[in-house]
Amino acid sequence: MNIADPLLSLRDLKSYLRTPRGLVRAVDGVTLDLAAGRTLGLVGESGCGKSVLARSILGLLPDAILQKAGGEIRFGGRDLRRSTEAELRKVRGREIAMIFQDPMTSLNPVLKVGPQIEQALRLHLGLRRTEARERAVDLLDQVGIPAARQRAVSYPHELSGGMRQRVMIAIALACDPKLLIADEPTTALDVTVQAQILDLLQEQQARRGMALILITHNLGVVAGMADEVAVMYAGRIVEHGPTAALLADPRMPYTAALLRSAPRLSDPPHTRLEAITGRPPVLVDPPAGCRFAPRCARSREDCRREPPEIEEAGTGRRFACWHPLELAHA
């Protein structure tokens, strides 16, 4: 792989899921690049396809529901979409790791946390049992769990939510992956613990030089952590660019609506949050044109007739909109 090549490159990625209501176009033509060591914030409303995109990268969508898988997922020069299941198992956990939303349902409830970390070390790195056990304790210590040796012999239900999430991070970091996907890693945690977990992710990323995909609803987190942001709506990327520029000057009306719906510290008490009118489309039968058009105040006839192609807008920015917002800081 050339040093200038992206670590992860998605080209026209599609993942259509079979459901009782029909074929859901959960990921419908996503194109993205992520360089080594960079952080991508992936944002959008619930149900827009963020988690399905993450699972598509790792090949974790079950064949029973995945009816159509198209496009390319190039990682380190290899197309993962063409890899066999045996080849993907060597990538998962070793080169690409994932932190799932809910650690209580992701951790094995009948297995102590130490052995759960040891499994990845023995499988991918070939460590002996005693070596893996010591490495697991060291990883628990690195992610800030006190009395790590004692906690290694605890069951998940004996730990707090924040500690369980730290265990998930330890498992994900065990084999020094090149890419870490964090799918809403602070869900159901209180604000103080959320800040600790996010600080930990930044610290570990800087120490290990990993690329990071951070899936979140929190635009404040994205502003503080991400080098670039991709905004997802109804299975597609509708805007992408450097974090500071995109948050300061969104071009796509949906991005602007997301920003307006976020609370601000400068607002007086009891200020009502600005909701985005309408509902996201049902992806069994999405609109023919722009998928945001039924909810967009700027929509015109051409928006409802033809889907906009994503356009390059210079300085690493691109967006998909027939009638974009004007730049406020041109």
For the chain, the structural domain boundaries read: 106-176
Strand 22-34, strand 78-79: pairing: unpaired
Adjacency order of strands within the sheet including 211-215: 96-99, 179-183, 211-215, 39-43, 228-233, 236-242, 318-319, 311-312
Helix (H, G, I), strand (E, B) or coil at 147: coil
95's CB contacts (< 8 A; 6+ apart) are 75, 76, 177, 178, 179
pLDDT of residue 4: 61
Which value, in Å, is the radius of gyration of the alpha carbons in the chain? 21
Per-residue pLDDT of the chain in tens (330 residues, 90 and over written 9): 444 689 999 999 999 999 999 999 999 999 999 999 999 999 999 999 999 999 999 999 998 899 888 999 999 989 999 999 999 999 999 999 999 888 888 899 999 999 999 999 999 999 999 999 999 999 999 999 999 999 999 999 999 989 999 999 999 999 999 999 999 998 878 888 889 999 999 999 999 999 999 999 889 899 999 999 999 999 999 999 999 999 999 999 999 999 999 888 888 888 888 889 999 999 999 999 999 999 999 999 999 999 999 988 878 899 999 999 988 765
Shortest CA distance to 180 belongs to which of 167, 170, 195?
170
pLDDT of residue 1: 43
Residue type present at position 320: A
List residues bridging with 30 in a β-sheet: 13
Residue 329: the pLDDT is: 65
Cβ neighbours, 10 Å, residue 19: 13
DSSP 99-141: E-S-HHHHS-TTS-HHHHHHHHHHHHH---HHHHHHHHHHHHH
Tokens of 38: 């960079």
How far is residue 238's CA from residue 255's CA, in Å, rounded to a whole number? 8
pTM listed for this prediction = 0.93
pLDDT for the residue numbered 3? 46
Contact 234, 295 (CB under 8 A): no
Distance CA 92, CA 138 (A): 22
